[in-house]
Amino acid sequence: MQNYKVIIQYDGTDYHGWQVQPNRVTIQGELTRILSQLDDRPVTVYGAGRTDAGVHAEGQVANFWLEHRFSSRELRDAMNGNLRRDIRILDALALDDAFNARTSAKLKNYRYRIWNADVGNPFLSRYVYQYRKRLDIDEMHEAAAALVGAHDFSAFTPAQSDAEDHFRTLQKLDLERDGEIVSITAAASGFLRYMVRTIAGTLIDVGRGRRSAKSVRLALESRMRSNAGPTAPACGLTLMRVDY
Protein backbone atom coordinates (compact mmCIF):
# COMPACT_ATOMS: atom_id res chain seq x y z
CA MET A 1 0.00 0.00 0.00
CA GLN A 2 1.27 3.46 -0.91
CA ASN A 3 0.24 6.71 0.78
CA TYR A 4 -0.43 9.51 -1.74
CA LYS A 5 -0.91 13.24 -1.19
CA VAL A 6 -2.83 15.35 -3.71
CA ILE A 7 -3.38 19.10 -4.02
CA ILE A 8 -6.87 19.92 -5.26
CA GLN A 9 -8.63 22.93 -6.75
CA TYR A 10 -12.40 23.05 -6.99
CA ASP A 11 -15.35 25.31 -7.62
CA GLY A 12 -17.65 24.37 -4.76
CA THR A 13 -20.78 26.01 -6.17
CA ASP A 14 -22.49 22.78 -7.25
CA TYR A 15 -21.33 20.61 -4.34
CA HIS A 16 -22.71 19.97 -0.86
CA GLY A 17 -19.33 20.63 0.72
CA TRP A 18 -16.30 18.42 1.17
CA GLN A 19 -17.57 15.59 3.37
CA VAL A 20 -19.33 12.51 2.00
CA GLN A 21 -23.09 12.67 2.60
CA PRO A 22 -25.83 10.19 1.63
CA ASN A 23 -27.51 11.09 -1.67
CA ARG A 24 -25.45 14.28 -2.00
CA VAL A 25 -22.70 15.16 -4.46
CA THR A 26 -19.59 16.20 -2.49
CA ILE A 27 -15.91 16.75 -3.24
CA GLN A 28 -14.75 13.89 -1.01
CA GLY A 29 -17.44 11.69 -2.51
CA GLU A 30 -16.27 12.36 -6.06
CA LEU A 31 -12.63 11.69 -5.16
CA THR A 32 -13.61 8.49 -3.36
CA ARG A 33 -15.64 7.28 -6.35
CA ILE A 34 -12.81 7.85 -8.85
CA LEU A 35 -10.04 6.42 -6.67
CA SER A 36 -12.07 3.32 -5.84
CA GLN A 37 -12.43 2.72 -9.59
CA LEU A 38 -8.70 3.23 -10.17
CA ASP A 39 -7.69 0.87 -7.34
CA ASP A 40 -10.47 -1.71 -7.86
CA ARG A 41 -11.48 -1.53 -4.18
CA PRO A 42 -13.04 0.93 -1.69
CA VAL A 43 -10.63 3.81 -0.98
CA THR A 44 -10.91 6.24 1.95
CA VAL A 45 -9.92 9.87 1.30
CA TYR A 46 -8.74 12.13 4.15
CA GLY A 47 -8.96 15.90 3.66
CA ALA A 48 -7.10 18.72 5.38
CA GLY A 49 -10.34 20.58 6.06
CA ARG A 50 -14.08 20.19 5.59
CA THR A 51 -15.20 23.05 3.37
CA ASP A 52 -18.92 23.82 3.54
CA ALA A 53 -21.42 23.68 0.70
CA GLY A 54 -20.58 26.33 -1.90
CA VAL A 55 -17.06 27.03 -0.58
CA HIS A 56 -14.16 26.80 -3.03
CA ALA A 57 -10.53 25.69 -2.82
CA GLU A 58 -7.33 26.68 -4.58
CA GLY A 59 -5.12 24.46 -2.45
CA GLN A 60 -7.08 21.77 -0.60
CA VAL A 61 -4.95 18.76 0.40
CA ALA A 62 -5.98 15.13 0.76
CA ASN A 63 -4.27 11.78 1.23
CA PHE A 64 -5.22 8.15 0.65
CA TRP A 65 -3.67 4.69 0.33
CA LEU A 66 -3.65 2.76 -2.95
CA GLU A 67 -2.60 -0.80 -3.73
CA HIS A 68 -1.72 0.11 -7.30
CA ARG A 69 1.50 2.10 -7.81
CA PHE A 70 1.34 5.27 -9.92
CA SER A 71 3.87 7.91 -10.85
CA SER A 72 2.86 11.43 -9.81
CA ARG A 73 1.86 12.35 -13.34
CA GLU A 74 0.01 9.09 -13.96
CA LEU A 75 -2.12 9.52 -10.84
CA ARG A 76 -2.80 13.21 -11.47
CA ASP A 77 -3.83 12.59 -15.09
CA ALA A 78 -5.89 9.49 -14.28
CA MET A 79 -7.87 11.39 -11.66
CA ASN A 80 -8.38 14.48 -13.81
CA GLY A 81 -9.45 12.32 -16.74
CA ASN A 82 -12.35 10.94 -14.69
CA LEU A 83 -13.34 13.88 -12.46
CA ARG A 84 -15.81 16.61 -13.36
CA ARG A 85 -14.16 19.68 -14.84
CA ASP A 86 -14.84 21.82 -11.76
CA ILE A 87 -12.45 19.64 -9.73
CA ARG A 88 -8.76 19.50 -10.72
CA ILE A 89 -5.82 17.65 -9.21
CA LEU A 90 -2.83 20.00 -9.39
CA ASP A 91 -0.23 17.58 -8.08
CA ALA A 92 0.11 14.06 -6.70
CA LEU A 93 2.98 12.80 -4.58
CA ALA A 94 3.86 9.48 -2.93
CA LEU A 95 4.73 9.98 0.76
CA ASP A 96 5.51 7.82 3.78
CA ASP A 97 2.72 6.46 5.95
CA ALA A 98 3.20 9.12 8.64
CA PHE A 99 1.63 11.85 6.49
CA ASN A 100 -2.03 12.66 7.17
CA ALA A 101 -3.64 15.60 5.37
CA ARG A 102 -5.55 16.71 8.47
CA THR A 103 -3.36 15.89 11.47
CA SER A 104 -0.07 16.84 9.78
CA ALA A 105 -1.34 20.31 8.80
CA LYS A 106 0.32 23.28 10.53
CA LEU A 107 -1.66 26.19 9.09
CA LYS A 108 -4.81 26.60 7.01
CA ASN A 109 -5.20 29.77 4.96
CA TYR A 110 -8.62 31.05 3.88
CA ARG A 111 -9.64 34.12 1.92
CA TYR A 112 -13.06 35.76 1.86
CA ARG A 113 -13.61 38.10 -1.10
CA ILE A 114 -16.19 40.87 -1.31
CA TRP A 115 -17.07 42.55 -4.60
CA ASN A 116 -17.61 46.07 -3.25
CA ALA A 117 -19.26 47.81 -6.19
CA ASP A 118 -22.73 48.76 -7.35
CA VAL A 119 -22.59 46.56 -10.44
CA GLY A 120 -21.62 42.90 -10.18
CA ASN A 121 -18.92 41.15 -12.20
CA PRO A 122 -20.33 38.16 -14.14
CA PHE A 123 -16.88 36.55 -14.37
CA LEU A 124 -16.43 36.56 -10.58
CA SER A 125 -20.00 36.19 -9.35
CA ARG A 126 -19.53 32.56 -8.29
CA TYR A 127 -16.46 33.41 -6.21
CA VAL A 128 -17.27 36.69 -4.43
CA TYR A 129 -20.01 38.14 -2.26
CA GLN A 130 -21.31 41.42 -3.66
CA TYR A 131 -21.92 44.28 -1.25
CA ARG A 132 -22.85 47.48 -3.06
CA LYS A 133 -22.27 50.27 -0.52
CA ARG A 134 -18.77 51.48 0.30
CA LEU A 135 -17.06 49.68 3.20
CA ASP A 136 -14.93 51.44 5.81
CA ILE A 137 -11.72 49.38 5.64
CA ASP A 138 -10.04 51.25 8.51
CA GLU A 139 -12.87 50.35 10.90
CA MET A 140 -12.77 46.76 9.68
CA HIS A 141 -9.01 46.65 10.35
CA GLU A 142 -9.55 47.85 13.91
CA ALA A 143 -12.24 45.25 14.52
CA ALA A 144 -10.13 42.46 13.03
CA ALA A 145 -7.23 43.21 15.38
CA ALA A 146 -9.37 42.15 18.37
CA LEU A 147 -9.76 38.65 16.95
CA VAL A 148 -6.10 37.83 16.32
CA GLY A 149 -4.54 35.47 18.87
CA ALA A 150 -5.80 32.64 21.08
CA HIS A 151 -9.47 33.02 22.05
CA ASP A 152 -12.68 31.15 22.69
CA PHE A 153 -14.52 31.69 19.40
CA SER A 154 -17.92 30.43 20.59
CA ALA A 155 -19.53 33.64 19.31
CA PHE A 156 -18.34 32.84 15.78
CA THR A 157 -19.66 29.29 15.39
CA PRO A 158 -23.16 27.80 15.69
CA ALA A 159 -24.33 27.28 19.25
CA GLN A 160 -24.97 23.62 18.35
CA SER A 161 -21.37 23.07 17.25
CA ASP A 162 -20.10 19.57 18.02
CA ALA A 163 -16.48 20.71 18.51
CA GLU A 164 -14.98 19.58 21.83
CA ASP A 165 -13.84 23.12 22.59
CA HIS A 166 -14.06 26.47 20.86
CA PHE A 167 -10.54 27.74 21.58
CA ARG A 168 -8.58 28.51 18.43
CA THR A 169 -5.47 30.57 17.68
CA LEU A 170 -6.03 32.97 14.81
CA GLN A 171 -2.51 33.74 13.63
CA LYS A 172 -3.48 36.20 10.92
CA LEU A 173 -6.54 38.25 9.98
CA ASP A 174 -5.69 40.77 7.24
CA LEU A 175 -7.83 43.05 5.11
CA GLU A 176 -6.95 44.76 1.86
CA ARG A 177 -8.72 46.51 -0.98
CA ASP A 178 -7.68 45.99 -4.60
CA GLY A 179 -10.01 47.99 -6.80
CA GLU A 180 -13.53 46.70 -6.24
CA ILE A 181 -12.40 43.63 -4.27
CA VAL A 182 -12.04 43.66 -0.49
CA SER A 183 -10.21 40.55 0.74
CA ILE A 184 -10.25 39.14 4.26
CA THR A 185 -7.42 36.63 4.79
CA ALA A 186 -7.41 34.35 7.84
CA ALA A 187 -4.82 31.79 8.94
CA ALA A 188 -4.95 29.31 11.82
CA SER A 189 -4.02 25.73 12.57
CA GLY A 190 -7.73 24.98 12.68
CA PHE A 191 -11.12 26.67 12.37
CA LEU A 192 -14.57 26.05 13.81
CA ARG A 193 -17.57 25.47 11.57
CA TYR A 194 -18.63 28.70 9.81
CA MET A 195 -15.95 30.58 11.77
CA VAL A 196 -14.34 32.41 8.84
CA ARG A 197 -17.69 33.23 7.25
CA THR A 198 -19.04 34.58 10.57
CA ILE A 199 -15.91 36.68 11.06
CA ALA A 200 -16.40 38.01 7.52
CA GLY A 201 -20.07 38.77 8.14
CA THR A 202 -19.21 40.56 11.38
CA LEU A 203 -16.48 42.65 9.73
CA ILE A 204 -18.84 43.56 6.90
CA ASP A 205 -21.31 44.81 9.51
CA VAL A 206 -18.51 47.00 10.91
CA GLY A 207 -17.56 48.27 7.45
CA ARG A 208 -21.12 49.26 6.66
CA GLY A 209 -21.49 51.09 10.00
CA ARG A 210 -23.98 48.64 11.46
CA ARG A 211 -21.78 47.85 14.48
CA SER A 212 -18.66 49.37 16.05
CA ALA A 213 -15.18 47.89 16.08
CA LYS A 214 -15.43 47.74 19.89
CA SER A 215 -18.56 45.59 19.66
CA VAL A 216 -16.55 42.83 17.98
CA ARG A 217 -14.29 42.47 21.01
CA LEU A 218 -17.34 42.46 23.27
CA ALA A 219 -18.98 39.77 21.13
CA LEU A 220 -15.82 37.65 21.34
CA GLU A 221 -15.67 38.02 25.13
CA SER A 222 -19.36 37.22 25.52
CA ARG A 223 -18.97 33.81 23.81
CA MET A 224 -22.56 34.19 22.60
CA ARG A 225 -23.36 33.60 18.92
CA SER A 226 -26.17 36.15 19.02
CA ASN A 227 -23.68 38.96 19.72
CA ALA A 228 -21.63 38.44 16.53
CA GLY A 229 -22.67 39.29 13.00
CA PRO A 230 -24.33 37.15 10.32
CA THR A 231 -22.65 34.26 8.54
CA ALA A 232 -21.50 35.61 5.17
CA PRO A 233 -22.53 33.67 2.03
CA ALA A 234 -20.40 30.66 1.13
CA CYS A 235 -19.60 31.85 -2.40
CA GLY A 236 -17.02 34.38 -1.18
CA LEU A 237 -14.87 31.87 0.72
CA THR A 238 -11.88 29.96 -0.67
CA LEU A 239 -9.41 27.63 1.04
CA MET A 240 -6.20 29.06 -0.40
CA ARG A 241 -3.57 26.62 0.85
CA VAL A 242 -2.56 24.30 3.67
CA ASP A 243 0.94 24.55 5.17
CA TYR A 244 2.82 21.52 6.53
Q: Which positions are annotated as active-site residues?
A: 52
Residue 231 makes CB contacts below 8 A (sequence gap 6+) with 194, 197, 198, 201
Evaluate the CA torsion angle 49, 215, 177, 117 in order and state its sign.
Answer: positive
Q: Which residues of 157-195 are buried (b: 16+ CB within 10 A; e: fewer)?
A: beeebebeebebebeebebeeeebebbbbbbbeebbbbb
In whole angstroms, give the CA distance from residue 39 to residue 29.
15
Please state whether beta strands 237-243 and 56-66 pair in parallel, antiparallel, or not at all (unpaired): parallel
